[in-house]
């Protein structure tokens, strides 16, 4: 099943694909907006002490062209969610609520008018989404909204599965991106498997992924 969500602003739109276990989503954002893809994990929650939960999530934040409005959509697998908020705080540090989602039930989505201070915090990587639950009232999973925040640890999870497993599915997705559909990647940082400084996704990344999967088994580059 595919669900289309129209972002704010005029056409044309860029598509950001977010595969997740519960729902496949096509989220459309205006070309002149700034888009942040990010993931939510239990490891980031509880000031990075973790919660032990198997729940996870994927998110997209869209800042409109004049930096006056922020739209966020998150798909998550928290079983008994009670609240969901956007908080202020750097990675591994808890902070106050800045914006509240109307519902915590998956999927969650909200649009807010934001200030220049909020914009500065966003680009500094100091806003995060926290999904609270009855089991973990302080937050079961958390996701930092930042450039490259969709990539954690080792690169290679190109099909962006929540389990963060690098396999044939990722190779297929990279080949599709480079040679077939050219559909945008959910997290380009995950495809930078050769770790080049420019973050370019090209044949060298495909070669590096093939080497990891079938030849040397030497792990690809870490996320940058």
Query: What's the pTM value of the predicted model, to 2 decimals?
Result: 0.66
Both tokens assigned to 184: 């945008």
Asked if the model's pLDDT at residue 3 lies above 50, the reply is: no
Looking at per-residue pLDDT, the higher value among 187 and 23 belongs to: 187
The pLDDT tens digits for 100-112 are 999 999 999 999 9
Asked if the model's pLDDT at residue 13 lies above 50, the reply is: no
CA angle 100-68-199, nearest 5°?
Answer: 90
Which domains are assigned to the chain?
2-145 (no CATH), 153-224 (1.10.1330)
With bands split at pLDDT 50, 70 and 90, how would you rate the model's confidence at 122?
A: very high
Looking at per-residue pLDDT, the higher value among 183 and 19 belongs to: 183
- Mean pLDDT for the chain? 85
Show the DSSP H helices in 134-175 as ranges: 168-175
- What is the distance between the alpha carbons of residues 136 and 83, in angstroms, rounded to a whole number? 11
Mean pLDDT of 182-204: 88
Nearest Cα neighbor of 36 from 64, 56, 13, 8 is 64
With bands split at pLDDT 50, 70 and 90, how would you rate the model's confidence at 31?
A: low
Strands (E), 19-149: 24-30, 34-41, 56-63, 69-76, 81-88, 97-100, 108-113, 127-133, 141-145
Asked if the model's pLDDT at residue 159 lies above 90, the reply is: no
| Contact partners, residue 214, CB within 8 Å, separation at least 6 | none
Q: What is residue 16's predicted lDDT score, i.e. its pLDDT?
A: 44
Q: What is residue 8's predicted lDDT score, i.e. its pLDDT?
A: 43
Residue 103, classed as helix, strand or coil, is: coil
Q: What is residue 7's predicted lDDT score, i.e. its pLDDT?
A: 44
Highest mean pLDDT among 16-25, 40-49, 81-90: 81-90
- What is the distance between the alpha carbons of residues 138 and 155, in angstroms, rounded to a whole number? 30
Asked if the model's pLDDT at residue 14 lies above 60, the reply is: no
Q: What is residue 29's predicted lDDT score, i.e. its pLDDT?
A: 55
Q: What is residue 146's predicted lDDT score, i.e. its pLDDT?
A: 84
Q: What is residue 193's predicted lDDT score, i.e. its pLDDT?
A: 96
Highest mean pLDDT among 2-6, 29-33, 45-49, 133-137: 133-137
């Amino acid at each position: 099943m595919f669900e289309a969500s129209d972002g704010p602003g005029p056409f044309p739109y860029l598509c950001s694909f977010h595969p997740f276990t519960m729902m496949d989503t096509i989220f459309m954002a205006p070309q002149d907006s700034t888009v942040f893809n990010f993931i939510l994990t239990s490891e980031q929650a509880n000031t990075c002490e973790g919660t032990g939960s198997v729940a996870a999530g994927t998110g997209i934040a869209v800042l409109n062209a004049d930096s006056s409005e922020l739209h966020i959509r998150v798909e998550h697998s928290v079983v008994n969610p009670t609240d969901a908020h956007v908080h202020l705080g750097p990675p591994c540090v808890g902070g106050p609520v800045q914006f509240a989602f109307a519902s915590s039930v998956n999927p969650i989505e909200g649009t807010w008018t934001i200030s220049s201070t909020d914009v500065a915090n966003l680009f500094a990587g100091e806003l995060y989404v926290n999904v609270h639950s009855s089991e973990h009232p302080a937050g079961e999973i958390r996701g930092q909204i930042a450039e490259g925040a969709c990539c954690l640890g080792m690169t290679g999870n190109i099909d962006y599965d929540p389990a963060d497993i690098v396999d044939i599915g990722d190779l297929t997705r990279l080949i599709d991106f480079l040679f077939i559909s050219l559909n945008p990647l959910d997290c380009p940082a995950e495809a930078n498997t050769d770790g080049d400084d420019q973050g370019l996704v090209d044949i060298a990344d495909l070669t590096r992924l093939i080497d990891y999967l079938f030849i040397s088994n030497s792990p690809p580059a870490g996320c940058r």
